[in-house]
Amino acid sequence: MLECSANIELLFSEAGITPASRIRAAADCGFQLVEMWNWRDKDLAAVTTALAETGTRLQALCVEPMGRLVDRSTHAQFLAGLRDSIAVAERLGSPFLYLIAGDTIPGVERAEQHRAVVEALSRAADVLDGHEVMLLLENLNSRVNHVGTFLDSSRETIQIVREVGAPAIGMLYDLYHSLVMGEQPIQELAGAIDMVKHVQIADVPGQGEPGSGQVDWPRTLTDLRELGYAGAIGLEYVPTVETTRSVAEILHIAAQV
């Protein structure tokens, strides 16, 4: 089976606005893994307590601030934020930090911006040395949700991770963004599944819960498994119904894969 991770930024809003209350609600629903975005706006002591009391594990959180990796002038700020974020990830027991490349800089050659991203991640790999935390690069869709984003291609993301060539740098593959861009996951990830350390999903169109759109989830999750992916599946979607109802179908499917 593929284990699922609940994104507490979007799921279990019925339990209240605090991350701790949503962690407890996720645990009550049977989740052993949760994930979140930003950490600077969180009560980290309360998050730590909720994780410990429920036996839930934090799967991933964002680097803060991310910076704009395509722009070298942001790299120093990004690396300082990475150091702070590593400390938080270790405190909360999260194996993964993730980030994006930022929006395209008008008037600058794409190849130059690509090189800037590689340089930023190469420097990040040095910062991560000696820590048991991985940094994952995520590409977004530029058609619906993130018009202007630089990195909207899974293949280029894989290429960047390969160019960096560091064990501490991997890829976060968001299936929703990939499908919105017209990609076929089994083609994009063939021969590169070792780069993918975490997967996030939402249905297409609409970014709702799996089952609310047109994706064949049994086939899609089976494809991921057959490619060799054995990590968690992050549920990062906007529920159209109450959360416990929204997760039922994908949890059942994931348990059969």
Q: What digits encode the pLDDT tens for the residues 40-95?
A: 999 999 999 999 999 999 999 999 998 799 999 999 999 999 999 999 999 999 99
> Cα–Cα distance between 195 and 170 in angstroms, integer?
5
Place of tokens 């209350």: 21
CATH topology of domain 4-256: TIM Barrel (3.20.20)
pTM of the model: 0.97
pLDDT, tens only, 206-252:
999 999 999 999 999 999 999 999 999 999 999 999 999 999 999 99
C-alpha 25/C-alpha 3 separation (Å) is 17
Residue where the block lists tokens 């002591």: 45
- Which of 201, 200, 212, 101 has its CA nearest to residue 157? 101
Residue 114 has pLDDT above 90, yes or no: yes
**Helix H segments across the chain?**
19-28, 44-54, 75-92, 110-128, 154-164, 175-180, 185-188, 217-227, 243-246, 248-256
